[in-house]
Amino acid sequence: MTALADPSARESPTRVVLADDAALFREAVAGLLQHSGFEVVAQVGDPAALRRAVATTDPAVAIVDIRMPPTHRFEGLDAAVDIRQNHPQVGVLLLSHYLETHYPLTLFGRSARGVGYLLKERVSGAAAFMDAVRTVADGGCVLDPQVVALMMGNRRRDIDALSEREREVLALMAEGLTNRAIAQRLFLTVKTVESHVRGIFTRLGLQPAPDGHRRVLAVLAYLRA
């Protein structure tokens, strides 16, 4: 006799909060998400409502437009940064017409996990967009190549210049591991890992800056390669 599957054991749909002040666009994206099996737990049109929705609905990912009321400048980006800081378990996918230079690295904090930035007019189709949402919800990173070029300062980074051990360390940095966790994974001392990290920064031409920002830039170089 074959046992029937327990309906409660089925995988729950990915929960999404959608924030865009263009109601028609928001409804269209929500429809696509729902058709693809996502659960849209909130649709909002301003940053304050976005913050409340994330705090109360426990989404896996928030899809956020950068320019939102009241000034239509960086309110959405500011809210996205707040979500990353206050709800680190929530993925954040920026979806915008605009390629912004306003502290984009702050969005990443110390990790490129669970974050994305796509340009609306460059998304290749519904399937690609759904894949991006899933990736960010699962803790991955999805970036439009133009965003990467902006954040890298349009300078080439030569991953091939890294030693084999440095590439191993950088790959683990891309997974969001700390120096201590990398040391444990590779059976190295923390000081040795710190030395490799400094070498990575030097070889990639990353000038002195807060280490969190340099780590993100190094990871972006790795993802770009």
48: CATH: 3.40.50.2300
Based on the fold, state whether residues 97 and 202 are members of the same structural domain.
no
Based on the fold, state whether residues 126 and 197 are members of the same structural domain.
no
Q: 134 is written with which tokens?
A: 């899933």
Q: Average model confidence (pLDDT) for the chain?
A: 84
Q: Is residue 5 part of a domain?
A: no
Based on the fold, state whether residues 125 and 90 are members of the same structural domain.
yes
The 10s digit of each residue's pLDDT in 69-88 is: 999 888 999 999 999 999 99
DSSP H/E element including 205 = none
Based on the fold, state whether residues 31 and 113 are members of the same structural domain.
yes
Based on the fold, state whether residues 21 and 129 are members of the same structural domain.
yes
Based on the fold, state whether residues 16 and 118 are members of the same structural domain.
yes
Give the separation between CA 44 and CA 143, rounded to whole angstroms.
23
pTM over 0.85: no
The 10s digit of each residue's pLDDT in 79-128 is: 999 999 999 999 999 999 888 765 666 777 666 778 898 999 888 889 98
For position 167, which CATH number holds? 1.10.10.10
Q: 180 is written with which tokens?
A: 């201590």
Give the separation between CA 125 and CA 49, rounded to whole angstroms.
28
Residue range(s) defining the domain that contains residue 205: 159-224
Give the separation between CA 24 and CA 28, rounded to whole angstroms.
6
How far from 149 is each of 121, 153, 224, CA to CA, in Å? Answer: 17, 6, 9
Q: Is residue 118 part of a domain?
A: yes
Based on the fold, state whether residues 216 and 136 are members of the same structural domain.
no
Based on the fold, state whether residues 86 and 181 are members of the same structural domain.
no
Q: Mean pLDDT over residues 174-187, rounded?
A: 87
User: Which residue among 117, 151, 185 closes a domain?
Assistant: 151
User: Which residue among 123, 151, 179 closes a domain?
Assistant: 151
Give the separation between CA 208 and CA 202, rounded to whole angstroms.
9
Q: 199 is written with which tokens?
A: 């070498």
Q: Which residues contact 73 (CB under 8 A, 6 or more apart)?
A: 67
Q: Is residue 53 part of a domain?
A: yes
- Tell me: pLDDT of 64 over 80: yes
